[in-house]
Amino acid sequence: MVKKRKDPILPFDSEDFNWCVYNDFQVYSVKDPNGWYKIAVRRNGITTNGLDSIVIDGVTIESVETVGKMNFKTLSELSAYLPFFYKQLIKKYG
């Protein structure tokens, strides 16, 4: 049984999205083996093009993928939650 989320559905805020891009957070969805969608975030993910590491001008830049624990049935359900998630990233790292 899936628990109903009590987190607010917020409208999309391009400033929050741009903050994530500017601060090199790649936010995307992944599908687990059970068919649930989850939010994943990769810090330095934009610079590394989604790879675990990349060498730029002799400097190794690493990124780590973190997959959230929340399950979503559909991508549209996950997408509705993204504005709240962006705000949580800003609150933690901003």
Q: Token digits for 61?
A: 């830049």
Q: What is the pTM of this model?
A: 0.81
CA distances from 93 to 2, 69, 74 (A): 29, 19, 28
Residue in 27, 90, 49, 40 with CA at minimum distance from that of residue 70: 40
User: How many residues are recorded in the chain?
Assistant: 94
What's the confidence (pLDDT) of residue 11? 80
Specify the pairing of strand 25-31 against strand 59-62: unpaired
Q: Look at residue 64 in the predicted model and tell me its pLDDT.
A: 92
> For residue 4, which phi and psi values (nearest 5 degrees)?
-75, 135
pLDDT by 10-residue block (mean), the chain, 94 residues: 61 89 94 95 92 93 93 92 92 91
What is the pLDDT at residue 1?
47
